Chain A
Amino acid sequence: EAGVVQSPRYKIIEKKQPVAFWCNPISGHNTLYWYRQNLGQGPELLIRYENEEAVDDSQLPKDRFSAERLKGVDSTLKIQPAELGDSAVYLCASSNRDGAEQYFGPGTRLTVT
């Protein structure tokens, strides 16, 4: 069974440019999470989806970040415009409905110059 797939693995952009990350969760997992992991820190939740619905986006900086999960499967996280402080690893995870165990993708390492 394939794990959580993320692309791209690495992205370097200049500040003020837009960027998008894509995630394909484990088949059958209804819940999808986007985390941001700053250097030397643990992941912090940005947004959680139950199927197509964003049920927790309280930590998502909505002025520049947006996310969608059309059809309740794949998801895209976008930043527009990017700032230097957005440099981090963006992790996607998925779980079944009860969310007891989350499975993580390899992440996208974003560098904003």
Chain B
Amino acid sequence: AQSVTQPDIHITVSEGASLELRCNYSYGATPYLFWYVQSPGQGLQLLLKYFSGDTLVQGIKGFEAEFKRSQSSFNLRKPSVHWSDAAEYFCAVRGSSASKIIFGSGTRLSIRP
């Protein structure tokens, strides 16, 4: 069955520190992978996506993610977080021939001043 696991429910990092949010997926076919961010009271905004090619993908707001097929992972990283990065982050997966996206349960990011 298709699934996405985000093992960290809540993470707190200091402003200016580096960030890594973990995501593991289970999908039988070639996956398309996404990271979305959701600020309080807002919809989801796409940060980045991986379809094929270079396994290190760059996104908006200085985020990047690396696809590791051997580990079934797609971790999100940022070298230096800003207070405005505080939000909920969702990893998601879909098949290359399917439209249905499966979301993880999210990781809430708090920023320590």
Q: What distance in Å separates the Cβ of A88 from its nearest Cβ neighbour in chain B?
A: 14
Binds A, one of B11-19, B57-65, B66-74, B96-104: B96-104
Count: A-B pairs, CB below 8 Å: 49
Contact residues of A between 94 and 113, Cβ < 8 Å to B = 95, 99-107, 109
Contact A42 B43 (CB under 8 A): no
With a CB–CB cut-off of 8 A, which chain B residues contact A93? 43-44
Known contacts: A42-B90, A100-B32. The answer to whether A91 contacts B44 by CB under 8 A is yes
Partner of B100, one of A4, A45, A91, A100: A45
Known contacts: A104-B44, A106-B41. The answer to whether A44 contacts B105 by CB under 8 A is no
- Alpha-carbon separation in the docked complex, A31 to B99 (Å): 9
With a CB–CB cut-off of 8 A, which chain B residues contact A105? 43
Does A43 reach chain B (CB closer than 8 Å)? Answer: yes
With a CB–CB cut-off of 8 A, which chain A residues contact B94? 99
- Alpha-carbon separation in the docked complex, A48 to B101 (Å): 11
Does A85 reach chain B (CB closer than 8 Å)? Answer: no
Q: Which 8 pairs show the lowest CB-CB distances between chains A and B?
A: A42-B103, A104-B43, A99-B99, A104-B44, A106-B43, A105-B43, A42-B90, A41-B105
Residue of B nearest to A102 (CB): B101
List 13 A-B residue pairs with CB atoms under 8 Å apart, sorted by A's residue number: A4-B43, A40-B105, A41-B105, A42-B103, A42-B105, A42-B106, A43-B90, A43-B103, A44-B103, A99-B94, A102-B46, A102-B101, A107-B42
